[in-house]
Structures are given as C-alpha cells and as structure tokens.
Structure 1
Amino acid sequence: MTASITPRGGLEPLMSIGDLSDLIGVPVKTIKDWRIKGEGPVEYKIGNHLRYAASDVRSWLSQCREMSAGTSPTTGLR
C-alpha cells in the first residue's frame, strides 16, 4: 500500500478568512457576521486567527445550494 503524501505533513491546507472571502466572493465582514450568528462554514480558531478547511467549506457550500430554482436551501446554517 502506498501512503499519500500531502503538503504540510499530511494536513489539509487551511485558508484564512481573506482567502475564503476571495474564494466565495463575499466580504470579510459578512463572513464575520455569519460566525456571530452561527452560520457559515465551521472554522478553526488558532490563537486570534480563524482558519477554514477546504473540505468544510465544500460541505457548507453543498448545504447552501438550491435543489431547484427558487427553493430555499438550509441557508448555510451549521
């Protein structure tokens, strides 16, 4: 069996709140507001820094997707 080697010692790369903002096209303030309301993707709090795993962002985005036009998703709630 061959082990899969990934950057950073096998850990999934984490993105900053700015990276997430750029990725989904939403202002940082909106992401911070979602965090206060318990919405948005789950994050890691490392010291004073918030970091997001790409897998968590993908999972959260799939919950935000409408099943058909005009049908409300779960609105990204955790």
Structure 2
Amino acid sequence: MATATPADPRTTLRAGLPDRYLTPDDIAEIFDVPKETVYQWSKKRTGPPGFRIGKHLRYDPTAVRTWVNDRMADNAA
C-alpha cells in the first residue's frame, strides 16, 4: 500500500491553491528565502499578508496569490 507524499508547496501554488493555510516554512520554500526573511516581511508588512492563530503565523493561499500578482503587475508597469 503506497502512502501519499506531501506535495511541494511551490508546485501546489503553481497548479492551484492548496486546500490549507500556509506556514512560514511553506512561504520560505515557495519563494526560496530564509524563514527569517518571512518573519521580517510579516513584521514590516512588506510580504504576503499573514494572520495569527494564537502564536502561529499562517497565510491564506488566495492572499498569497493576490500578493504575487500585485508584485508582477508592479514590475510590468
């Protein structure tokens, strides 16, 4: 019996939105940046918008996709 392996968050985001909230580790992997950068983005409010569940930082995949699209539009202009 084969067990399912977790999907690479970068592939999942490209193929469609994952069906779960993303963690700082996911964001770091998707954008190939250190996790500390993700926390700095959150602190400075310069990265994708996140929210807290208690002490845990989470990201809505829809908001991350919107943030990426906004960055791409800014760079195209």
State which of 18, 28, 34 in structure 2 corresponds to 1:27.
Answer: 34
State which of 48, 57, 64 in structure 2 corresponds to 1:50.
Answer: 57
TM-score w.r.t. the length of structure 1 is 0.66
2:76 matched to 1:67?
Answer: yes
Q: Please say which structure displays the higher CA radius of gyration.
A: 1
TM-superposed CA distance for 1:27, in Å, is: 1.1
TM-score w.r.t. the length of structure 2 is 0.67
In 1, Cα distance between equivalents of 2:44 and 2:51: 16
CA RMSD in angstroms comes to 1.3
Task: State the AA in 1 paired with 2:41.
Answer: W
In 1, Cα distance between equivalents of 2:34 and 2:68: 16
Unaligned runs of 5+ in 2: 1-18
In 1, Cα distance between equivalents of 2:20 and 2:34: 22
Greater helix share, 1 or 2? 2
Q: Percent of pairs identical after alignment?
A: 30
Unaligned runs of 5+ in 1: 1-11, 69-78
Determine helix, strand or coil for the equivalent of 1:39: coil
Q: Which 4+ stretches in 1 moved above 3 angstroms?
A: none
Which residue number in structure 1 is paired with residue 9 of structure 2?
Answer: none
2:47 matched to 1:40?
Answer: yes
